[in-house]
Amino acid sequence: MYVIVTGASKGIGKAIALRFAEAGHHLVICSRDKEKLEASALEIKNLNPSVEVHTMAVDLSLQTGAEAFAAFCLEKGAVDILVNNAGIYLPGTCISEPDGILESMMNANLYSAYHLTRKLVPGMIKNKQGHIFNICSTASLRAYEGGGGYSISKFALHGFTINLRHELKPHGIKVTAVLPGAVMTDSWGDFDNSQGRIMEASDIAEMVFAASLLSPQAVVDQIVFTPQLGEL
157 SS3 class: helix
DSSP state of 178: E
Q: How far is CA 13 from the centre of its chain?
A: 6
Give yes or no for a contact between 37 and 30, defined as CB atoms under 8 angstroms apart: yes
Q: Strand ranges (DSSP E) for 21-136?
A: 26-31, 53-57, 79-84, 131-135
173 SS3 class: coil
Give yes or no for a contact between 219 and 173, defined as CB atoms under 8 angstroms apart: no
Q: Of these residues, 2, 89, 114, 150, which one is catalytic?
A: 150
145 SS3 class: coil
CA atoms within 13 A on the CB side of 98: 6
DSSP state of 142: S
**Could you tell me the CA-to-CA distances from 32 to 6, 10, 14, 55 in Å, in that order?**
10, 11, 13, 11
Q: Which amino acid is at 168?
A: L
Q: Is 111 a catalytic residue?
A: no
Q: Dihedrals φ, ψ of 161, to 5°?
A: -65, -45
Q: Which amino acid is at 138?
A: T
First to last CA, the chain: 39
Question: What are the catalytic residues?
Answer: 150
